[in-house]
Structure 1
Amino acid sequence: MARKLTPRIVTADEVSEMLAPSAVPAPRLTRRPEPGKLRTRANFADAILRLWTEAEENFLAIGRYLNHAKTVLDHGDFMGMVERDLPFRYSTANRLMKVAAAIDAGELPADRLPPSYATVYEMVLLNPDEREQAQAQGLISPATRRQDVIDFKKRLRASPATEEESDRRELARLEAERARIDARIMALKAKLSARR
């Protein structure tokens, strides 16, 4: 939970800097309709879609603000802000920052990304070759889920030696199971032939 900040006196230079146009775009806030006034499926879908898009844009804006704050604030001030003044942990801040940096650097196509920063973060963790394969397979799309990216990484990164070892273990398990079944069959045959 964010702590309440103690007020401080702001200088004229600081006010001028605050009011100057920023390279970091401000999040877009739309007027929200009252839920009680919505009546149709289309009304609800439209309102929810707008809010979802706004949330997506806000995650990107938060990452950009964090990246900018990290360059402007002293290291102790930045970490202190993240640890004490923000409603999330440093690990979340770090992910948001990496997502914003990757999008701003053009490593990921902003117009084809899913609305979850956690999913996009998994995409950021792909190396350039993996990212290229992901794009070729249509994995980089708004419909992609986080688990889809994790599974994709596992498939790509599974070494042939690991697969061979896995196959050998499975073969040994099946052979042991077959030996157990064969022994049970032999025992039952012996028991049945003894009854005759």
Structure 2
Amino acid sequence: MAIDAKEKWGARKAAPKRASILTIAHEDVATPRSEIFALASEDDVVQEIGKLWDTAQRTFLSIGRLLSHAERQFRGSFERDIVAKLPFNRSVAHMLRTVAEKVDQGYVPEAELPRSYAAAFRLVTLEPDALEQARQRGLVAPGTPRSAIERFRQELRTQRLAAHGEDALLAAKREELQGKIERARKEMERWSAELAGLERQIIDAKAEEA
């Protein structure tokens, strides 16, 4: 049977204008295409990924706006009937909602927002003076990674502690180490539980073979 030229592997299909439309907080949002197709050059790859990356940013802002709208509309049941059933946890929901609200309040223009929602959250929760410092350093930009903003926030924290003297620095370092120890303890408990479960499986398997 003859194969249509358009169906041959590698042939680029005409992309639909919109795979589907979501209306979020009175705003139409196109969901990204899911198919993979051949691209003619390296520049095409970069351009296509750039478009999808921009779509990802627009999507997390739209989700945040929807959450903000829903929180106001369903105030009595928002946490129980909406947040608890989302495919991400409460912390992520809080970050998405906060970013969207800050953008809509004009605190950080959408065009200057980092494309990562985690980086965007760390940026928009800076105090106004700190945000201005971040802007002067070129951190208020779409390409800014979360790690750069975290380093900036840590630098600000160190400066504030230094202004209160060495005792404050030492106390903060102690608190940081205590936090690391606590996280490591919880991780050890999880590993120990997994190991115990694995050992029980080994014992059961040997018992069945006997």
TM-score normalised by the chain length of structure 2: 0.61
1:73 Cα deviation (Å)? Answer: 1.4
Q: 1:23 to 1:48 in 2, by over 3 A?
A: same
C-alpha separation in 1, matches of 2:125 and 2:78 = 28
Q: 1:82 to 1:22 in 2, by over 3 A?
A: closer
Residue number in structure 2 paired with 1:24: 26
Residue number in structure 2 paired with 1:71: 72
1:106 Cα deviation (Å)? Answer: 0.6
> Which has the higher Rg, Structure 1 or Structure 2?
1
C-alpha separation in 2, matches of 1:146 and 1:55 = 16
C-alpha separation in 1, matches of 2:24 and 2:164 = 50
C-alpha separation in 2, matches of 1:80 and 1:41 = 46
> 1:28–1:57: 8 Å Cα contact kept in structure 2?
no
> 1:24–1:61: 8 Å Cα contact kept in structure 2?
no
C-alpha separation in 1, matches of 2:51 and 2:70 = 28
SS in 1 for 2:27: coil
Q: 1:108 to 1:39 in 2, by over 3 A?
A: same
What is the 5 A alignment of 1:9-158? 24-29=26-31, 32=33, 34-84=35-85, 86-158=86-158
Residue number in structure 1 paired with 2:194: none
What root-mean-square deviation, in Å, do the aligned CA atoms of Structure 1 and Structure 2 show?
2.4
1:43 Cα deviation (Å)? Answer: 2.5
SS in 1 for 2:88: coil
TM-score normalised by the chain length of structure 1: 0.65
> 1:26–1:61: 8 Å Cα contact kept in structure 2?
no
SS in 2 for 1:26: strand
Higher relative contact order (CA 8 A, sep 6+): 1
C-alpha separation in 1, matches of 2:155 and 2:132 = 15
Deviates more, 1:71-80 or 1:123-132: 71-80
> 1:95–1:121: 8 Å Cα contact kept in structure 2?
yes
What does the per-residue CA deviation read over 1:142-189, in whole Å, with 9 as the maximum and x for residues that have no partner?
Answer: 22111111111111122225674569xxxxxxxxxxxxxxxxxxxxxx
Residue number in structure 1 paired with 2:200: none
Gaps of 5+ in 2: 1-22, 171-210
Gaps of 5+ in 1: 1-20, 168-196
> 1:123–1:131: 8 Å Cα contact kept in structure 2?
yes
C-alpha separation in 1, matches of 2:103 and 2:62 = 11
C-alpha separation in 2, matches of 1:33 and 1:67 = 28
| Equivalenced residues, count | 145
Q: 1:59 to 1:33 in 2, by over 3 A?
A: closer
1:40 Cα deviation (Å)? Answer: 2.2
Structure 2 counterpart of 1:107, which letter? Y
